[in-house]
């Protein structure tokens, strides 16, 4: 994995491929490369590191080619290097392939191909694909690709070209996203719509086991049984993929500051105030089934998992459903009894996370109703679920998720309110939730207007080497998410814990060099939180508290306190996480970290 962009048209391909690769940089990668065909010659340029290095290397290359494929790689098989970067080629250097995903049976295929005389250059799993196509090629690339993908096990989004076949690019999807972009007498393919934004807003989303053949006179789409398919062209709204930093130093900071709007966009048009209920068009097709389910299992990963963890408390509070929240990577291996009375809700920013996809495919097999909360339109999770709700938060470019987390929490609340109003939630309780939701954007603005003070506090803590984050009930997930933000972008160890568990182990870490971030809002858990904070103070631990009340109980035992506005307890985590996002950001910035592209991380994790 990580990003693919292809061009087939009448303009110079290289500038388009480079621009597309730059727009994929946010996904995280370690090397990049492209392949263009010029007068029957396959010209390949690769570079380790950033796309800007690739750009430097292409200088001096005759660039008349008007078709080509390009890739940013995030190493899975074989270290980051030029040789392992994509495109990978066959022995004759005529067939180029870029690939996202993993070929699980590559060792077996490689052995077979080596025995037939193929010579491999890289350590990648991808390289078996061009060799397999070479083996099957008899003048017709389409036939060779079809025969070859039949042999592949695993996940792939691939793009293929052959130097002897003018202006033909073939793409195939199984488990890893790839879409076609339709321009005027020019055609594109990419792993996500952001890469195509400067060129076209007309996209065709391929489903698994579909292929598209692009040439200058058009394109056609087939399934892998070689049957032609009619696919709808989706016209995307510019706001779905507009990317720029709007003067902020980093995308992450910009996205933190976008939260008043992204939170509002999550509930905009989705509230019926006169009835104290929400209205989610995306769930309407399954509403009758939804009314009859007795169990909801939320599956997701990382930050989306922490949103799901809080979702469990929200649903428990507002509905009569049995709720479980599961890490997607664990869920798929469990022996769970699922049936049509169970709904499985996948939460995913990218809509392409391989673990989450695998989990819901397993749930589908067992007959559960599949629901989704997805930010990226048309992606695999959005396609496979029976119904769902989009975040409409615009692209999230910073690898560390911020605005999508708070948006996910709003949508979980809307879903729980919708179901809860068919159950025990009264009109006045529904109205109270709606009032609290519509108050959030203003309250978030208020927190953001204190960013300077939060920065000052963060700088005081930037030299510590480890942190504990604690919270109870609704703010236990806040502690987990706050700690994740800090560790992923600043590389400082941070452990999120339910505060009550502290005395069962992590308290032994506490001393004057190991500060605690305590999320201690004024709710039914406050007194217990204060006791835990006392235990920390008694061991000389420093405390930074996040609270929504200027009570001496908290102020008196905290070294530093950030006070956020107050809302109803189920929504309070949406406000509490904002200073923690800023805290992590300012510490990482102070330490000179690559905030938008933290080391070893990818924005969209399309391998299990
Ligand atoms: C952390 C982060 C990741 C993602 C996780 C799931 O800041 O961004 O933990 O939340 O990889 O990704 P999605 O939501 O795209 O399924």
**Residue 556: which CATH number?**
3.40.50.10490
Q: What is the 3-state secondary structure (H, E, C) of 198-258?
A: CCCCEEEECCCCEEEEEECCEEEEEECCCCEECCCCEECCHHHCCCCCCCCCCHHHHHHHC
Taking a C-beta distance cutoff of 8 angstroms, is the pair 503, 516 a contact? no
Q: How high is the pLDDT of residue 394?
A: 81
565: helix, coil or strand?
coil
Residue 607 or residue 111, greater confidence: 111
Nearest to 352 by CA among 489, 492, 204, 177: 177
- Please give the radius of gyration of the chain, using alpha carbons only, rounded to the nearest integer: 25
d(CA 567, CA 523): 10
601 domain residue, yes or no = no
Q: Which residues contact 363 (CB under 8 A, 6 or more apart)?
A: 297, 299, 331, 338, 342, 344, 370
Q: How high is the pLDDT of residue 62?
A: 64
pTM: 0.78
Q: How high is the pLDDT of residue 142?
A: 97
pLDDT of 25 above 90: no
307 lines ligand 1 (CB under 6 A): no
Domain housing 81? 3-241
Q: How high is the pLDDT of residue 89?
A: 98
Domain boundary (192, 217, 241) is at 241
- Does 56 share its domain with 159? yes
Q: How high is the pLDDT of residue 176?
A: 82
Residue 53: CB atoms within 10 Å: 13
Nearest to 467 by CA among 400, 534, 519: 519
Say how many Å lie between the CA of residue 391 and the centre of ligand 1.
Answer: 14
pLDDT 10s digits, 440-466: 999 999 999 999 999 999 999 999 999
169 burial class (0-12, 13-18, 19+ CB within 10 angstroms)?
buried
Taking a C-beta distance cutoff of 8 angstroms, is the pair 489, 598 a contact? yes
Among 27, 349, 481, 489, which is best to mutate for testing ligand 1, by the most ligand atoms less than 8 A from CB? 349
Is 603 a known active-site residue? yes
Kindly report the CATH number assigned to the domain that includes residue 67: 3.60.20.10
Cis peptide before 87 (omega within 30 of 0): yes
Closest CA to ligand 1's atom 3: 302
Alpha helices of 259-398 — where are they, by DSSP H? 259-267, 287-292, 302-318, 328-331, 354-365, 380-384
Say how many Å lie between the CA of residue 40 and the centre of ligand 1.
Answer: 42
Q: How high is the pLDDT of residue 570?
A: 97
- Does 201 share its domain with 257? no
252 lines ligand 1 (CB under 6 A): no
Distances (CA, A) of 132 to 40, 88, 127, 188, 521: 21, 12, 9, 24, 60
pLDDT range class, residue 24, cuts 50, 70, 90: confident
Domain boundary (448, 473, 498) is at 448
Q: Which residues contact 125 (CB under 8 A, 6 or more apart)?
A: 76, 77, 102, 103, 106, 154
- Does 201 share its domain with 163? yes
pLDDT 10s digits, 246-287: 679 999 999 999 999 999 999 988 999 999 999 998 999 999
Q: How high is the pLDDT of residue 29?
A: 77
Q: Which atom of ligand 1 is nearest to the CA of 604?
A: 15
Q: How high is the pLDDT of residue 30?
A: 82
pLDDT of 574 above 90: yes
488 lines ligand 1 (CB under 6 A): yes
pLDDT range class, residue 241, cuts 50, 70, 90: low
Q: What is the 3-state secondary structure (H, E, C) of 158-183?
A: EEEEECCCCCCEEEEEEECCCEEEEC
Say how many Å lie between the CA of residue 348 and the centre of ligand 1.
Answer: 7
474 domain residue, yes or no = yes
- Does 376 share its domain with 470? no
pLDDT of 238 above 70: no
357 beta partners: none
The chain-wide mean pLDDT, for the chain, equals 93
Dihedral angle of Cα 286, 290, 295, 297, to the nearest 10 degrees: 40
Say how many Å lie between the CA of residue 604 and the centre of ligand 1.
Answer: 7
Dihedral angle of Cα 524, 526, 532, 533, to the nearest 10 degrees: 170
608 domain residue, yes or no = no
Structure tokens at 7: 């061009």
Q: How high is the pLDDT of residue 604?
A: 77
Among 250, 300, 302, 384, which is best to mutate for testing ligand 1, by the most ligand atoms less than 8 A from CB? 302
Say how many Å lie between the CA of residue 600 and the centre of ligand 1.
Answer: 14
302 lines ligand 1 (CB under 6 A): yes
Is 593 a known active-site residue? no
605 domain residue, yes or no = no
- Does 277 share its domain with 227? no
349 lines ligand 1 (CB under 6 A): yes
d(CA 107, CA 21): 29
43 beta partners: 36
603 domain residue, yes or no = no
Q: Which residues contact 194 (CB under 8 A, 6 or more apart)?
A: 23, 24, 26, 241, 243, 395
Q: How high is the pLDDT of residue 316?
A: 96
Per-residue burial over 588-598, b = 16 or more CB atoms within 10 Å of its CB, e = otherwise: bbeeebebbbb
The count of domains in the chain is 3
Among 250, 303, 409, which is best to mutate for testing ligand 1, by the most ligand atoms less than 8 A from CB? 303
Q: How high is the pLDDT of residue 325?
A: 97
485 domain residue, yes or no = yes
Q: How high is the pLDDT of residue 70?
A: 97
Q: Using a CB cutoff of 8 Å and minimum separation of 24, what contacts does 104-111 make?
A: 104/153, 104/154, 105/151, 105/152, 105/153, 105/154, 106/77, 106/154, 109/151, 109/152
Q: Which residues contact 501 (CB under 8 A, 6 or more apart)?
A: none
pLDDT range class, residue 64, cuts 50, 70, 90: confident
pLDDT of 346 above 90: yes
Q: How high is the pLDDT of residue 1?
A: 60
- Does 440 share its domain with 456? no
Distances (CA, A) of 479 to 31, 467, 517: 34, 11, 8
600 domain residue, yes or no = no
Q: How high is the pLDDT of residue 117?
A: 97
- Does 416 share its domain with 456? no
Q: Which atom of ligand 1 is nearest to the CA of 376?
A: 15
pLDDT over 70, % of the chain: 98
Query: Quick one: average pLDDT of 512-528?
Result: 96
pLDDT of 244 above 80: no
Chain centroid to CA 232: 25
pLDDT 10s digits, 363-387: 999 999 999 999 987 788 998 999 9
350 lines ligand 1 (CB under 6 A): yes
Q: How high is the pLDDT of residue 190?
A: 95
- Does 440 share its domain with 502? no
Nearest to 219 by CA among 174, 169, 160, 178: 169
Query: Quick one: average pLDDT of 352-364?
Result: 94
Q: How high is the pLDDT of residue 310?
A: 98
142 domain residue, yes or no = yes
Query: Quick one: average pLDDT of 203-216?
Result: 93
- Does 421 share its domain with 470? no
Say how many Å lie between the CA of residue 347 and the centre of ligand 1.
Answer: 9
Q: How high is the pLDDT of residue 239?
A: 61
372 lines ligand 1 (CB under 6 A): no
pLDDT over 90, % of the chain: 81
Among 605, 606, 607, which is best to mutate for testing ligand 1, by the most ligand atoms less than 8 A from CB? 605
pLDDT of 578 above 70: yes
Query: Quick one: average pLDDT of 579-602?
Result: 93
Distances (CA, A) of 158 to 86, 144, 233, 484: 11, 14, 20, 32
* 484 half-sphere exposure, CB direction, 13 A CA radius: 20
- Does 310 share its domain with 298? yes
- Does 413 share its domain with 547? no
- Does 271 share its domain with 405? yes
356 lines ligand 1 (CB under 6 A): yes
pLDDT 10s digits, 138-161: 999 999 999 999 999 988 999 999
The sign one gets for the Cα dihedral 450, 393, 238, 21 is positive
Q: How high is the pLDDT of residue 492?
A: 97
């Amino acid at each position: 994995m990580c990003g693919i962009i292809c061009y087939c048209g009448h303009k110079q391909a290289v500038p388009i491929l480079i621009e597309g690769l730059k727009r994929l940089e946010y996904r995280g990668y370690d090397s990049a490369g492209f392949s263009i065909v010029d007068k029957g010659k396959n010209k390949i340029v690769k570079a380790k590191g950033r796309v800007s290095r690739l750009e430097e290397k292409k200088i001096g290359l005759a660039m008349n080619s008007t078709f080509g494929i390009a890739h940013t790689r995030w190493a899975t098989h074989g270290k980051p290097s030029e040789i392992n970067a994509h495109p990978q080629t066959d022995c004759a250097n005529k067939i180029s392939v870029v690939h996202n995903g993993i070929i699980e049976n590559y060792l077996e295929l490689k052995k077979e191909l080596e025995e037939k005389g193929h010579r491999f250059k890289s350590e990648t799993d991808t390289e078996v694909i061009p060799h397999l196509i070479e083996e099957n090629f008899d003048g017709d690339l389409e036939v060779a690709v079809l025969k070859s993908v039949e042999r592949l096990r695993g996940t792939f989004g691939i793009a293929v070209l052959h130097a002897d076949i003018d202006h033909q690019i073939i793409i195939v999807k199984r488990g890893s996203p790839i879409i076609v972009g339709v321009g005027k007498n020019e055609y594109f393919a990419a792993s996500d719509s952001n890469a195509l934004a400067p060129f076209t807003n007309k996209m065709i989303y391929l489903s698994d086991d579909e292929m598209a053949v692009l040439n200058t006179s058009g394109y056609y789409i087939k399934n892998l049984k070689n049957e032609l398919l009619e696919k709808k062209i989706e016209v995307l709204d510019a706001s779905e993929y507009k990317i720029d930093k709007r003067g902020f130093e980093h995308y992450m900071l910009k996205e933190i500051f976008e939260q008043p709007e992204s939170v509002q966009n999550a509930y905009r048009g989705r509230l019926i105030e006169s009835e104290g209920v929400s209205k989610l068009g995306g769930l309407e097709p399954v509403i009758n089934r939804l009314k009859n389910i007795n169990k909801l299992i939320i599956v997701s990963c990382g930050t989306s998992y922490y949103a799901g963890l809080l979702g469990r408390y929200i649903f428990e509070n507002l509905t009569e459903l049995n709720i479980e929240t599961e890490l997607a990577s664990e869920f798929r291996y469990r022996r769970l009894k699922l049936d049509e009375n169970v709904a499985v809700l996948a939460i995913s920013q990218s809509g392409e996370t391989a673990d989450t996809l695998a989990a819901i495919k397993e749930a589908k097999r067992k007959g559960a109703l599949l629901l989704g909360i997805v930010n990226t339109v048309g992606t695999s999770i959005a396609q496979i679920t029976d119904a769902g709700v989009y975040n409409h938060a615009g692209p999230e470019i910073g690898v560390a998720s911020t605005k999508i987390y708070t948006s996910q929490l709003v949508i979980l609340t809307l879903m729980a309110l919708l179901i809860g109003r068919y159950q025990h939630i009264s009109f006045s309780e529904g109205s109270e939730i709606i009032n609290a939701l519509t108050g959030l954007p203003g309250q978030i603005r208020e927190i953001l207007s204190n960013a300077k003070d939060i920065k000052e506090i963060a700088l005081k803590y930037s030299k510590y080497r480890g942190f504990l984050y604690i919270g109870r009930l609704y703010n236990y997930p806040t502690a987990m998410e706050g700690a994740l933000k800090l560790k992923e972008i600043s590389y400082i160890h941070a452990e999120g814990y339910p505060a009550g568990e502290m005395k069962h182990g992590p308290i032994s870490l506490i001393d004057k060099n190991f500060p605690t971030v305590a999320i201690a809002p004024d709710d039914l858990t406050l007194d217990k939180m204060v006791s835990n904070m006392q235990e920390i103070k008694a061991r000389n631990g420093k405390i930074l508290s996040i609270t929504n009340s200027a009570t001496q109980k908290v102020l008196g035992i905290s070294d530093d306190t950030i006070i956020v506005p107050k809302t109803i307890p189920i929504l309070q985590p949406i406000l509490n996480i904002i200073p923690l996002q800023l805290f992590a950001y300012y510490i990482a910035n102070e330490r000179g970290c690559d905030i938008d592209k933290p080391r070893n991380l990818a924005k969209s994790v399309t391998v299990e």
